[in-house]
Amino acid sequence: MVLVMSVFSQNTASAQTRKVMNRPYIDQRRFHYGFLAGLNLQDIELQQNGYKDASGNQWFAEAPNYEPGFSVGILGEFYLTKHLALRLIPTMHFGTKNMTYRNAKNNERQYQSIKSTYISLPIDIKFSAERFNNYRPYAMVGVNPMLDLTVKRQQQLLLKKFDCYLEAGFGCDFYWPWFKFIPEIKFCYGLFNIIDKNRDDMTDASQLIFTESVDKGRSKMIVFTLYFE
């Protein structure tokens, strides 16, 4: 009796954990593709230098909050091995960095909204775990060159058009009957100084103190993406 109950219990547990595999061979294709939509949060990490002008004005700049934007693009994935894939993901990111400048002498504040439209081509390596039923977690790392299409001059700070990010993140493949759904979060950190110190565009010399007060700036971004294959 005990043996019968034990066998029945094992069969029941097996039945509860096994499910029909949706799209069982999709990951073994040499190439597959999809599209994406998502949200991004943009920030900039600044290195101040304490510069003062002839009047003793000393400005400090910061981006106090991550500002939300949105992202759209397409996904191309190349099969390498059972657990590795190479991904090319042409993407456009739309967002804003809201800057606050504070004068240490009199606590005066000025503000600047830096709107960006990035076109990017991330190249990522995807490390996938074993598939269990209809989901499969993964981690990814890669590089992401970006070009800003909407750089505006005659502002307190001017950002360079080109940047390149290191990125890392994780996600999970969910296999549905008709398509694969993939939520992912990744963290991106800019490799280059994006503060343009060459301000030939500046006609008001008093505005140069904002550029002079900052030595370096590196972009940061958090991207939450939904892929559909």
Dihedral sign from CA coordinates of 72, 78, 80, 86: negative
Please list, in sequence order, all residues whose beta carbon lies within 8 angstroms of the beta carbon of residue 21, skipping any fewer than 6 positions away: 133, 134, 175
* Position with higher pLDDT, 141 vs 197: 141
Both tokens of 174, joined, read 């969910």
Distance CA 122, CA 86 (A): 10
- Of 114, 218, 111, the C-alpha closest to 158 is 114
76 against 154, higher pLDDT = 76
Q: Which long-range contacts (CB under 8 A, 24 or more apart) does 152-155 make?
A: 152/114, 152/115, 153/201, 154/201, 154/202, 154/203, 155/112, 155/114
pTM: 0.84
Answer with the residue of higher pLDDT: 24 or 176.
Answer: 176
pLDDT digits (tens, 9 = 90+) for 75-133: 999 999 999 999 999 999 999 999 999 998 888 898 999 999 999 999 999 999 999 99
Q: What are phi and psi of 118, to 5 degrees?
A: -95, 135
Beta-carbon contacts of residue 194 (< 8 Å; ≥ 6 apart): 44, 159, 160, 163, 217, 218, 219
